[in-house]
């Protein structure tokens, strides 16, 4: 278990560092128009990467390093995307739709609540 935690942590470090680099590079492009394209690009790339890794299933600790660590550090949206697609592929389309809609709604509400609470705490 300690080995897996260290592998996930190392992958998370690499994914987080790359997320910052990619997001910073994309944000500097002149095509923003107000859309957070850095985050969008990272979420799309991470979703593609976790799909490839889930199908390929690298051996041993590489799966922990790559999927839980790297993809998790790069973007947790990739895990959300994979879980939603897996629900759909298993025939649980209603559950997938509820999970996707519920996740988006609840997370947006909680982000708003967090901003409100943080504002109260900073006064």
Those residues with Cβ within 8 angstroms of residue 60's Cβ, 6 or more apart along the chain or in another chain: none
Tokens representing 53?
């890794």
Among all chains, which residue has been given the structure tokens 């979420």?
43
The reply to whether 72 sits in an annotated binding site is yes
69 phi/psi in degrees, rounded to 5: -80, -70
The reply to whether 75 sits in an annotated binding site is yes
Which of 123, 13, 118 shows the shortest CA–CA distance to 65? 13
Binding site membership for Na(+): which residues? 72, 75
Binding site membership: which residues? 72, 75
């Amino acid at each position: 278990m300690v080995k897996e935690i260290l592998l996930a942590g190392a992958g998370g470090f690499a994914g987080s560092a790359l997320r910052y680099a990619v997001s910073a590079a994309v944000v500097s492009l002149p095509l923003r128009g107000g859309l957070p394209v850095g985050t969008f690009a990272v979420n799309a790339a991470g979703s593609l990467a976790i799909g490839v890794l889930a199908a390929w299933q690298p051996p041993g600790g590489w799966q922990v390093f790559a999927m839980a660590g790297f993809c998790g550090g790069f973007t947790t949206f990739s895990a959300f995307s994979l879980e939603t697609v897996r629900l759909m592929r298993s025939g649980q389309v209603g559950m997938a739709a509820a999970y996707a809609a519920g996740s988006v709604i609840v997370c947006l509400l909680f982000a708003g609540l967090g901003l409100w609470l943080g504002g109260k705490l900073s006064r």
